[in-house]
Amino acid sequence: MRKHCDFLVIGSGIAGLSYALKVANHGKVLMITKSNESESNTKYAQGGIAAVWVKSDSFEKHIQDTLVAGDGLCNEEVVRMVVSESTERVEELIEWGTKFDKTPTGEYDLAKEGGHSEHRILHYKDITGYEIERALLAQVHSHPNIEILDHHFAVDIITQHHLGAEVNSQTPDIQCYGCYVLDTKTGSMLTVLAKSTLLATGGAGAVYATTTNPIIATGDGIAMAYRARAG
């Protein structure tokens, strides 16, 4: 079977869902996800989400805390980008219906976690990720341009290689035309052709024997991008 869309989004955690909501006003979005639609690392995140929220705090303080906690492992450019967008991104989650706990006086109840020099963790009880996943899925379901297929496993990104051309790491302009997808309930294969494909398949924690990650976290997207010689 073959399906066409403007945007193919692989993965239904916070990354895939929020991207789908942003692009859905510009075209038809098809989301695929390999388990049930809420299964993701996002659903299990507990403590909360860090953002610069009060006047006594600043992006620079948050950046420095992150670099110190990262102890030389951080890419500073990425840290600066992520932290400086933190407030706007959390505001977006709130606009999409995510609830965060408030104090009796109506301000957000900001927690202070390890490595942070300020109170900057917005949370919903101890199930923050569950609440974010709930709110974003509700938005996705109410958007007429978004279709979501659960129990659909992305197998490989389609490139020129699948049209007979030789593709290697030196090939310029490798194109992505979509993805081959396995419907794990029927065992049938689906070819999804898309103008744009987003890999939002999360991390690879489940490759370790001991992990808090659910079993979906097997680094499939990283492997698919590697096989496709994505630069």
Nearer to ligand FAD, 127 or 171 (CB): 127
Half-sphere exposure of 182 (CA within 13 A, CB side): 8
Least CB distance to ligand FAD at residue 24 (A) = 17
Query: What residue is closest to ligand FAD based on CB?
Result: 13
Helices (H), the chain: 14-23, 41-44, 59-70, 76-84, 86-95, 128-141, 220-227
- Residue 76: how many CB atoms within 10 A of its CB? 11
Between 129 and 178, CB nearer to ligand FAD: 129
By beta-carbon proximity to ligand FAD, the closer residue of 46 and 117 is 46
Amino acid making up residue 79: V
Cβ–Cβ under 8 Å, residues 166 and 134:
no
Q: How far is the CB of 172 from ligand FAD (least distance, A)?
A: 27
CB of 29 to ligand FAD, least distance (A): 15
Sign for the pseudo-dihedral over CA of 83, 86, 87, 88: positive
Shortest gap between Cβ of 49 and ligand FAD (angstroms)? 5
Cβ-based nearer residue to ligand FAD, 68 or 165:
68
- Tokens read off for 50: 């860090």
* Footprint on this chain of ligand FAD (rule: CB under 6 A): 10-16, 32-35, 39-42, 44-49, 129, 153-154, 200-202, 212-213, 216-217, 220
183 in Cβ contact with 66 (< 8 Å): no
Strands 29-32 and 178-183: unpaired
Which CB atom, from 10 or from 20, has the smaller least distance to ligand FAD? 10
Q: Which is nearer to ligand FAD, 40 or 139 (CB)?
A: 40
> Dihedral through CA 12, CA 15, CA 18, CA 21, nearest 10?
-60
Minimum separation from the CB atom of position 83 to ligand FAD (A): 12
Least Å distance between CB 226 and ligand FAD? Answer: 13
Q: Which residue shows structure tokens 């109840």?
A: 109
